[in-house]
């Protein structure tokens, strides 16, 4: 079943520079899709991203238009689109350029759910010492 505009607006959110911190500071899992209107692979990946958002309503699925949000794209050094970035509890735990197949995105979501953030935070603390 194709995702209509109304369903998409309920499943994914558009992230801007002004809404970024508010979105990621809520904690939990946030998956970001850096894209642009002119990008063919972005358009091909869009329905996969939208379908995952509908399937996993407890996860924030955000879309960042790199043409409109150049400061955000620059801050995260986005060099290729689509780029998928995932944060858990405000920490970037995944960052990869290129579209994913639906099964790959589901594997990523499972890995994000299973990720032990106490261990991640301990590893970060150890690296900073």
Q: Which residues are catalytic?
A: 39, 42
- Helix/strand/coil (H/E/C) assignment for every residue in 28-66: CEEEEEEECCCCHHHHHHHHHHHHHHHHCCCCEEEEEEC
Nearest Cα neighbor of 12 from 39, 51, 40 is 51
């Amino acid at each position: 079943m194709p995702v209509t505009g109304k369903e998409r607006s309920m499943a994914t959110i558009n992230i801007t520079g002004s809404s970024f911190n508010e979105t990621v500071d809520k904690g939990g899992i946030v998956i970001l899709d850096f894209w642009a209107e002119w990008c063919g692979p972005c358009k091909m990946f869009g329905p996969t991203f939208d379908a995952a958002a509908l399937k996993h309503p407890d996860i924030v699925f955000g879309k960042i238009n790199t043409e409109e949000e150049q400061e955000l794209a620059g801050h995260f050094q986005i060099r290729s689109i689509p780029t998928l970035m995932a944060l858990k509890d405000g920490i970037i735990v995944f960052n990869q350029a290129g579209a994913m197949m639906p099964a790959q995105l589901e594997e990523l979501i499972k890995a994000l759910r299973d990720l032990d953030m106490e261990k991640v935070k301990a590893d970060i603390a150890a690296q900073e010492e």
